[in-house]
A and B are shown apart, each in its own frame.
Chain A
């Protein structure tokens, strides 16, 4: 089967490409880019991409698909449809499900289920410790051998420095990457929002930024000491950005991601107690958001990841302090980033694609995030100018809760192609 995307603006940071041209796909792989000489024949599907951006499909290295065990929030079918709707062609679910994905059988089972029920690619992140208890290492070697792409106790900080040290050493044996949810528990554990002027006003207990700074500093020091590779999830504090910047300058194997919500919203969004603004780490104040933008721009923060964390309606329909943290992110991420960072000229389109596709794929060693010839035809078509209003009723995710509800965004994925199959077009997921 052949597919031609005609006349789009092709942006591929993996080959420093930003040109108008065509992309030819055959048998699920990219066979030609820009100067497509082969003629289309009768069996070729032609998509007019003029006026659109043609880019590598987005790669989200941090999602929660909630399956197995928490299907009222999300499952593989609904979560990957949300991904397709948002322009993502690969998503990496975290292992904090029920049961926790902490052994090779579960990793293999998830991969199998993902193949059957997913509409985009899924790459599995296994638990760092057994049951994510932070007490003893999970079977890291076996999980990596069975296709896990990284290890994480996400949702929890690895409180024991000993466990993280041994984890970095042991995973290092196999070149495995550890992803850290870095918030020091004794400082952050009881809090509901960023500690600062807004928490002072609302009376909500704070999760201070220094809880994140301390955790990131420790994690970077352990990565430096062991030579292991660590990736800091959802960086949200200025101090954490600075720690990572300095660690990178010293040659520490540290990478980091930041979420669209931490880049585009502040703790002021919590005023009114909307539980759709409750998330860990919390939405922070303006000076932190500025530090995140600077970190993203100078490469301290490598990737943009959603931390898509859907919850059932009844769980979020609560008093603020009782509602669980997190909200859906896959279907708003690209629009929020284009609106908040591209249209405001803080990032170029090429930088956006790099942070949302090419670099996360590189960090995890995936065959994704590129339009190079021979690569899997995972492609997104983006209309950077399309204006739309966020309405969670239209979401594919079950987690119909977003801090962007009712907001006008500019820019949207208009088609998602996975392995040469068109899985989303015009906002409609086809499978």
Chain B
């Protein structure tokens, strides 16, 4: 792919199911350059000076919101955080009216997190500013998916042909969905495993390999993506106890040993240490969990840059 053929200028970033490989590659390429900026002593570049970004978060979030906030600020944009814990239903103002209010203030990008699936699509159809989905319910979390792809590429090179095991609560996980679409498009073998209560019905129709036993999914895996058990999203009784979950489905040293010796461990955070992932795994040499956070910043910088400026030529403006 050559630069310039693909542009994301003005495009909403809603999910990876609807994103082309060329678009993903453009973002990943641009993120490499952005990562250099993060390592500089003086991080701020004037690329997005005069642009404004609103982080509109309807769900509590620390890492994603901070990551987007710094991404915008490093690129010189003005960034405002609007965090509202109550949904539109509770607080009485509709999502449309909230969005129209933000739009009226002349913002260029709305980064939105919302507890309802499809909220990003709704926003994109409701207002003109570019919508970047920072997670909509259990639907998609495209920037997390892309930062995972970036991390895998960085550590493993080519994604095509890799065996990637995604372990745990797939049903409630927007991270899992975004990862699945990206990995399938980029040519990886995608395996999922967990209790059947946490695996979406009919997901195998999309070309995902479904395993009951975590051990089998781990055998020969190149990447192990451990998902957070989202206690706040759990319907009751999908697994009996955290104790049983950790014993049967948790990723510990012994289970990880079934994967390739150099298998990469990912986790979107925040971790429930001792539940879905053992501390010994989280802090092992194989873990890229901290690197994921840094890469997340780079990927978000790339996205904010590309949707506003379109091109790929960061250095001239830096």
Using a CB–CB cutoff of 8 Å, the interface residues on chain A facing chain B are 190, 195-197, 199-206, 208, 272-273, 314, 317-322
Contact = CB atoms under 8 A, between A and B. Distances in A.
B314 interface: no
Given A201-B206, A203-B137, A272 B121 contact: yes
A322 B206 CA distance: 28
A208 B95 CA distance: 29
Interface stretch (B60-68, B77-85, B195-203): B195-203
Contacts of A196: 201-202
A197 B122 contact: no
A195 B197 CA distance: 13
B291 interface: no
A421 B172 CA distance: 56
Given A200-B203, A203-B138, 12 more contacts: A190-B235, A196-B201, A197-B206, A199-B200, A200-B201, A202-B139, A203-B137, A203-B139, A204-B137, A206-B201, A273-B117, A320-B117
A319 B177 contact: no
B22 to A, nearest CB: 22
B114 A319 contact: yes
B205 A322 contact: no
A201 B16 CA distance: 11
Contacts of B122: 273, 319-320
Interface of B: 17, 87-89, 94-96, 114, 116-119, 121-122, 137-140, 172, 174, 177, 200-203, 205-206, 235
A314 B94 contact: yes
Contacts of B205: 197, 200
Contacts of B17: 201
Contact of A203 (B88, B89, B121, B174): B174
Nearest to A190: B235
B88 A319 contact: yes
A196 B202 CA distance: 6
A190 B117 CA distance: 14
Given A201-B177, A203-B140, A273-B122, A317 B94 contact: yes
Contacts of A204: 117-118, 137-139
User: Which 3 pairs show the lowest CB-CB distances between chains A and B?
Assistant: A273-B118, A203-B138, A200-B200
Contacts of A203: 117, 137-140, 172, 174, 177
Residue from B89, B118, B138 whose CB has the most chain A CB atoms within 10 Å:
B118
B253 to A, nearest CB: 32
Nearest to A200: B200
A320 B89 CA distance: 12
A272 B117 CA distance: 10
B177 A197 contact: no
B235 A319 contact: no
A322 B201 contact: no
Contacts of A199: 200-201
Contacts of B200: 199-200
9 contacts: A201-B17, A204-B117, A273-B118, A273-B121, A317-B96, A318-B95, A319-B117, A320-B118, A321-B116
Contacts of A190: 235
A417 to B, nearest CB: 41
A317 B201 CA distance: 29
A319 B203 contact: no
Contacts of A195: 201
B238 to A, nearest CB: 12
Contacts of A202: 117-118, 139
A321 B206 contact: no
B202 A319 contact: no
B119 A319 contact: yes
A196 B201 CA distance: 6
Contacts of B137: 203-204, 321
